[in-house]
Every structure is written in structure tokens, then in C-alpha cells.
Amino acid sequence: MLRKAILAYGVLAVIGAIVLALAGIITGLVFYLFVNGAVVIAALLFERGRYHPPITPGGKWEETEERFVDPSTGQLMKVRYNPQTGARDYIPVNPPS
């Protein structure tokens, strides 16, 4: 929901800048709106997989003693570690049925 609202802001800012420029209003506001909207849109498009890259199957995974409660789901999670790649994987301790 928040992602859609932020994307809508970016699109409206770019469209507003274009409309103002076509109306002959060339000011710092037009430049600001266009750059601001373009940065917001680009950030949303490129941020998508940055924080949670997909875990590739295979390799040697070692279970750690680390456990934590996922704040978004309330589910107890365990952590696995792949010493070959340094990747970490988070798995529910009791997956929902």
C-alpha cells in the first residue's frame, strides 16, 4: 500500500512537471518536481530485490543457534548459514500448515 502511494507521488510529480513545462512555466519548481519524481520512481524500481536476494538452492547449509521472532509475521525463525557463499537463510521453526 505504501509502495503504491509513493509510486503515485513520483508519477504525479513527473507528470506535473511536464504539464507545467508545456504550459510555458519554466522555473526551479519544474526542475525540482521532475527530478524528485524521477528519483522516487527509480528508487522504487531498483530497490525491489536489494534487501532480500533470492537464496539459491544447493551448497552446504549449516544451521546456527540463532533464533528470532519475525516482527512482520510474529513467527519464530531459525537461521542457516552457507560458509561457501556467506549467505544467510531464514526459515520458520514451525512452518504453518
Per-domain residue ranges of the chain: 2-47, 62-92
Low-confidence residues of the chain, pLDDT below 70? 48-58, 95-97
- What pLDDT sits at residue 50? 58
- What pLDDT sits at residue 52? 59
In terms of Cα–Cα distance, which of 80, 81, 14 is closest to 44?
A: 14
- What pLDDT sits at residue 89? 87
**pLDDT 10s digits, 21-31:** 898 887 888 89
Whether the CB-CB separation of 35 and 14 falls below 8 Å is answered with: no
Report in angstroms the alpha-carbon separations of 33 from 2, 17, 23, 27, 38: 20, 6, 15, 10, 8
